[in-house]
Structure 1
Amino acid sequence: MKFVSWNVNGIRACVKKGFLDYFHEADADIFCIQESKLQEGQIDLQLDGYEQYWNYAERKGYSGTAVFTRKKPLSVRYGIGDKETEAEGRSIILEFADFYLVNIYTPNSKRDLSRLEYRLQWEEELREYLLELNSKKPVIYCGDLNVAHAEIDLKNAKSNIGNSGFTYEEREKMTKLLESGFVDSFRYLYPEKTDVYTWWSYMSKVRERNIGWRIDYFIVSKQLEHHIEEAEIHHQVLGSDHCPVVLKMTNLNA
């Protein structure tokens, strides 16, 4: 099976910049997006052969997630833990025969770290929820997770220590999750690969010079690690300040 995840930073804008060309070229079984930035009825995506599931934020032009899947899931929910819904549209969970698919847009702790406490609480609730799901069947967890886990995952690590997305607290939450029985699919295959990023600032020439961060992931239950066939970062794909990330799995059925 082939999975794609992409923070599109506004699906309406991204469609004007080639989203559909990439979508059809990717030919994914399941395609997840984050930061859709719209409300219901503001776009009509013609994606033949795909079921569409959208979680809209209450605030206009903000956050939001969606999943496009060739096979209809057994169940769908919008919200983690005890939350059946959540105001910022940050999560969609699809249950399939062999696994759960969890699409997440993790809250940013903000430049001044004013939202760090909220972010850390979110991480705890999410980890507990992922463990609950994992006790039933394996999990494939993806999205813009708004953290570079290790120094290898961003260009200028030393100067960014303590900054939003690279605080010790955020990185420790990722470590704690992985130690709970999950695997970062890209690092599983490429533990020492450098200069591979998924997000670049819009500042002049930053992307051209590849001064980026790897903050978009596919994380899978440890029992699925031997099913990981390939993990790719499509850095050449434009249309957003993020690029798509891809996971290919063997012997997995939706």
Structure 2
Amino acid sequence: MPLLLTSVFIGAVLQRVSGIGFAMVVAPFTIIAIGPAQGVVLVQMCGVASAIIVLTQVFRDVNWKTYLVLLPASAAGIVIGTVFVSRFPGAEAEIISAIVMLLMLAASVTAGYLREYPRNAGTLTAAGGLAGAMTVLAGVGGVALTSLKEATRWDQRSFVATLQPYLITLSTGTVIARLAAAPDAWPALAAWVWGGIVAVMVVGMLFGAQLTRWMKARHAAQLTLALSLIGALAALADGISKL
């Protein structure tokens, strides 16, 4: 479990510094450690906790109208993603999750180079639906919102704040959908592992708070992308090796 605990710690640090990135860093390594089904559920549970912590600090900047527009399509995406992923066994599911992560990372990087798009009901609905499906498939739905941010030039302060309640809702819905479709998706971890996850998340958030004094959010986001890419490639290789 060292891989799992280390990724949770690093994800918590980066989440505290930049407001995003927890699932992007933790998901691929967690999927390698405990499998795609349990991995996605665990990442979403941890993601809810980290988002709640960040939300307490950015609550006043949340755009609640945007949050509400995102929800219906996200719910539909969760349902579609759950139906899709239930049709594949472990190794295939891990490969699909890794490919989804790589595609989402590529989209988040290239979105900033596209022409600016309006942030309206259409773009929010498309991003929300994609985020819902991708969260169920690979645990990285937040990357779809990062792409939306870049494509619409969404202000960083408002984006990070609005993302927190959205991720809380999205992750909770994903956990419920995953467990309803497959009760064995609940992470079968020893008590000491659960305790370790909580401990490293708390320490990571505290350490991240100290890092904010000298590490810029932009640099934390770049590090998040790099680690996410490494993790996604590792998950892809791991899934292929299990075929």
The TM-score normalised by the length of structure 2 is: 0.29
Instruction: Report the structure, 1 or 2, having the larger helix content.
Output: 2
Instruction: Report the structure, 1 or 2, having the larger strand content.
Output: 1
Greater RCO structure (CA 8 Å; 6+ sep):
2
